[in-house]
Amino acid sequence: MTRNMSSKPNLDPKWLQWSKQLMAIAQNGLTFASNPFDKERYEAVRAIAGEILSDHTCTAPSQIVDLFSGESGYATPKVDVRGVVFRDDTILLVKERADGLWTLPGGWTDVNEAPSEAVVREVFEESGYRTQATKLLAVLDRSKHPHVPPLPFHIYKLFIECELVGGDAETSHETEAVAFFREHELPELSISRTTPEQVTLLFEHRRCPELPPDFD
């Protein structure tokens, strides 16, 4: 059983939704097209999507096209895992060096790595704590939640509860502080990675462990 949050609208601006869809169409077309003229058309679609993104982000179109040119195969969402580590009535957060704000430890999953393995690795690398993944709490579409800034890729976020089994707080090349916080005493969050609403949802799961995972 899961809890459906699909009534949430896509919060990405229309120009970003269109450009992401065009990029996906171009990538899929370039993957399967064999006719050189079709390939030229899909390259043109990718260039148009790059122009849209460039016009709204002050980034050179060539940089955007180069970014997406590195993507191959059928276009699918990227997967971001976030470790949810509770200690009594507090939750583990790390302070990002990139923006000086706090977030649940986590990051991209790697190829040949299960979500449970990825989240345990990310928690250890960013916080120094050793954990064991125990339960999937939520699978959320980033574009349906108030993350800032919006990103050009479609991203699914997996929130996985992890039991603390050892280790000590240690910073890394990505994090400059590690600490546990109470629900109503949170520091300023890195909204690009974790929102206050998501932390509230996770504490709800902590109080009611019988709840099924949330999705969308």
Q: What is the pLDDT of residue 5?
A: 67
Which of 22, 48, 69 is the endpoint of a domain?
Answer: 69
Q: What is the pLDDT of residue 6?
A: 60
Which of 69, 89, 116 is the endpoint of a domain?
Answer: 69
User: For the chain, what is the domain count?
Assistant: 2
Q: How many alpha carbons fall within 13 Å on the CB side of residue 215? A: 7
Q: What is the mean pLDDT of residues 43-47?
A: 91
Q: Is residue 180 located within the same domain as residue 132?
A: yes
Inside any domain, residue 207: yes
Distance CA 95, CA 200 (A): 19
Inside any domain, residue 110: yes
Distances from the Cα of 136 to the Cα of 2, 125, 145, 154, angstroms: 10, 20, 18, 20
Domain that holds residue 62: 14-69
Q: What is the mean pLDDT of residues 100-127?
A: 97
Q: Is residue 86 located within the same domain as residue 58?
A: no
Q: What is the pLDDT of residue 102?
A: 98
Q: Is residue 140 located within the same domain as residue 184?
A: yes
Q: Is residue 198 located within the same domain as residue 169?
A: yes
Report which of residues 57 and 201 the model is more confident about: 201
Q: What is the pLDDT of residue 64?
A: 80
Instruction: Read off the pTM.
Output: 0.84
1-35 residue pLDDT tens:
666 666 678 888 999 999 999 998 999 999 999 99
Q: Is residue 182 located within the same domain as residue 83?
A: yes
Torsion-angle region of residue 164: left (phi > 0), alpha (psi -120 to 50) or beta?
beta
Q: What is the mean pLDDT of residues 187-214?
A: 97
Report which of residues 21 and 58 the model is more confident about: 21
Q: What is the mean pLDDT of residues 186-215?
A: 97
Inside any domain, residue 6: no
Q: What is the pLDDT of residue 59?
A: 82
Which of 22, 37, 69 is the endpoint of a domain?
Answer: 69
Inside any domain, residue 60: yes
Q: Is residue 149 located within the same domain as residue 102?
A: yes
